[in-house]
Amino acid sequence: MWIYLKRLRTRLIMPLVLLALAFASITTSFAANIPVIYTFAPGGGSVQGGTAVRIIGDNFRQHSVVTFGGVAGSNVVVSACRSDGNCSIIDVMTPPHAAGTVTVKVTNPSGASATAPQAFLYTTP
């Protein structure tokens, strides 16, 4: 009986343990590449656009897209990059937009994104 249980453990449990470890590794690798917005400034600007905004975060990538209320910003510069390709600063110019509070979104070329909901206030001059 003991020999049977030992074989059963080797044949069933070990592959399950290896599968769990592989899944954990994949999940950790994927999660490490999701961008995060910590803060940005200023928190508002003119409806005419053209406000220079600096976004501080992590896991940004070159060629990321920044949108304000669904409208892409311009002159996006990604900097403070590490050797793994992840960057922590994005400088961007706001696009023109109607007055009100909008969501700021950073999307990496992979499609992974971070949002700051209702975080930027467009005002009339």
Nearest to 94 by CA among 109, 79, 105, 83: 105
d(CA 57, CA 13): 41
**In this structure, what are the phi and psi dihedrals at residue 29, rounded to the nearest 5 degrees?**
-65, -40
| pLDDT mean by block of 10 residues, the chain; 125 residues | 55 52 45 88 98 98 98 98 96 98 97 97 96
Nearest to 67 by CA among 33, 24, 106: 106
pLDDT of the residue at 88: 98
* Global confidence as pTM: 0.75
pLDDT of the residue at 11: 59
pLDDT of the residue at 33: 86
d(CA 32, CA 125): 41
Q: Does domain 34-123 have CATH number 2.60.40.10?
A: yes
pLDDT of the residue at 82: 95
Task: Count CB-CB contacts under 10 A for residue 53.
Answer: 20
pLDDT of the residue at 89: 98
H or E segment to which residue 75 belongs: strand 74-81
